[in-house]
Amino acid sequence: MKRRKFLQNAGMLSISPLLLPAIGSAMPPATNTRKQWISFLEKLANPVLSALAADELKQKMPVETGQPSQVKDRAKYSHLEAFGRLLAGIAPWLQADNLNAGEAQLQHKYFSLAVKGINNAVNRTAKDYMNWGDEGGQPLVDASFFAYAMIRCPKLWQALDAGTQSNVIVALRKTHVIKPPESNWLLFAAMIEAFFISIKEPFDAQRIKYAVDRHQEWYKGDGMYGDGPEFHWDYYNSFVIHPYLYDILKIVSAKDPSYEPIQQKVLGHNLRYAVIQERLIATDGSYPPIGRSITYRTGAFHHLANMALQKQLPKQLKPAQVRCGLTAVIEKFTKEKGLFDDNGWLTIGLYGHQPSLGEGYISTGSLYLCSAILLPLGLPESDPFWADADEDWTARKLANSVDLPADHSL
């Protein structure tokens, strides 16, 4: 396979002429693909973590909203959104061992920045001390993403001094005053309790049980859950529901074996939805722009990326085809002008800057859920996800006239 040279232009990820050539021609080597993913990670992480480590995130990060009238309200939450969501996506990479020299150097940089950032985020005397539950309900969401990051990267928790660990626990317990609505928000409350289990802190078992039980009631079939009693055709099954259920149940069933039957049942749903997600990736890396929060962009594949990270892909999905499919998604978004502003902060939009797509709860910080696609960077370069030869994903195979078995519902 002829090796192609990947180019970085003005900090954006781009290749000449395209990441994926015309259907039927060769794809770039997997080794270069990982470098491209790392470059995307740097673009997301550097502004947020550098500013927060310097206690300057609130000073430097813009708070863009769909309507100017929403800025004052969303500024109460946007900084924790950016930090919690970014960290949840890059945490497995921060946890990874045996990286090559270049990656290890970058990892050390961002790990150190993250530790300093956590200290400022939970220190009441810091300018960047964040709203963990002092005002509004939104902090429950992003405190949970932060807790998820600590679960995915135990090294971060272990690197904190005792005072900062105590401040983290106090900050997360502040969310107990927030009553989650009957929706995916129940899982945000449950994830915080799962983190407490992981660090052997007292936890509220009822918050976990209620969230798990309600989502079993809301299962609609064929790997899909309702966001509450009703089904909504959006990406919340991937943004939140499937990844959260998988990891919450992984933790709680290890402590309480009575959850094991539910865990196995949910895993079947996880596997089916991973198949659906892979089939949603079109030949050019686009996917159906359906439902709310579409400005989370690559975060729409949180679940598929998580299943790859957990080495739990269904048997009909080879790791290399998932890698190539997700790479196509990353390339589709990052080649568009306007993804970042002049100072490197994400802007509201799907492909480029499209602020009208932002609902009233969307602001600059919300957008960093896009980092969730990067979860497989927690796998070593030797893992089949990175090491196996490039392979077309389902949409490209079918467009290439490959004769595949028919898809079947669960």
DSSP 295-309: GGGGGGGHHHHHHHH
- For residue 62, with 0-12 CB atoms within 10 Å meaning exposed, 13-18 middle and 19 or more buried, which class applies? middle
Please give the class, per CATH, of domain 7-399. mainly alpha
At residue 3, the pLDDT reads 35
The pLDDT score that the predictor gives to residue 331 is 97
Residue 23 has pLDDT above 50, yes or no: no
Specify the pLDDT at position 7.
33
Q: Mention every residue, 6+ apart, whose C-beta is less than 8 A from residue 111.
A: 94, 155, 156, 159
Least Cα distance to 208 among 255, 149, 252, 148 occurs for 252
Instruction: Write the DSSP symbol of residue 225.
Output: E
Question: Which of 209, 189, 190 lies closest to 256 in space, CA to CA?
Answer: 209
Token pair for 1: 């396979």
Q: What residues are paired with 8 via a beta bridge?
A: 13
The whole-number average pLDDT for the span 374-395 is 97
Question: 289: cis peptide before it, omega within 30°?
Answer: no
**Could you give the percent of the chain with pLDDT greater than 90?**
92
Asked if the model's pLDDT at residue 12 lies above 80, the reply is: no
Mean pLDDT of 180-207: 98
Q: Is 135 left (phi over 0), alpha (psi -120 to 50) or beta?
A: beta
pLDDT at 25: 37
Which tokens sit at 157?
């928790």
CA–CA dist 349, 340 (Å, integer): 10
Mean residue pLDDT of the chain comes to 93
At 305-336, the pLDDT tens digits run: 999 999 999 999 999 999 999 999 999 999 99
**Size of the chain in residues:** 410
* Cβ proximity of 30 and 323 under 8 Å: yes
Distance CA 240, CA 80 (A): 17
Helix (H) / strand (E) element for 219: namely: strand 219-221
Q: What is the pLDDT of residues 389-410, one digit of tens each?
A: 999 999 999 999 999 999 999 8
- Does residue 10 carry a pLDDT above 50? no
User: Is the pLDDT score of 254 beyond 70?
Assistant: yes
CA distances (Å), origin 386, targets 33, 313, 371:
8, 14, 18
Per residue in 81-123, pLDDT (tens digit) is 999 999 999 999 999 999 999 999 999 999 999 999 999 999 9
- Per-residue pLDDT at 31: 61
Using only C-alpha atoms, the chain has a radius of gyration, in whole angstroms, of 20
Give pLDDT, residue 5: 35
DSSP 4: -
Domain boundaries along the sequence of the chain? 7-399
Residue 223, classed as helix, strand or coil, is coil
Query: What is the longest distance spanned by two Cα atoms in the chain?
Result: 63
How high is the pLDDT of residue 26? Answer: 40
> Cα separation of 184 and 234, whole Å?
12
Tell me, what's the pLDDT at 40? 98
DSSP designation for 10: T
225 close to 215: Cβ distance less than 8 angstroms:
yes
The least confident of 16-25, 74-83, 321-330 is: 16-25
d(CA 165, CA 315): 40
| The model's pTM | 0.92
Q: What is the pLDDT of residues 263-272, one digit of tens each?
A: 999 999 999 9
> Is the pLDDT confidence value at 18 over 50?
no
In the structure, what pLDDT confidence band is assigned to residue 32 with cuts at 50, 70 and 90? confident
Angle at Cα 38 formed by Cα 336 and Cα 187, nearest 5°? 85
Query: Which residues on adjacent β-strands are paired with residue 340?
Result: 346
Burial of 175 (0-12, 13-18, 19+ CB in 10 A): buried
How many Å apart are CA 95 and CA 83, to the nearest integer? 17
Contact (CB, 8 A) for 372 and 89: yes
- Residue whose entry in the numeric block shows the structure tokens 């396979």: 1
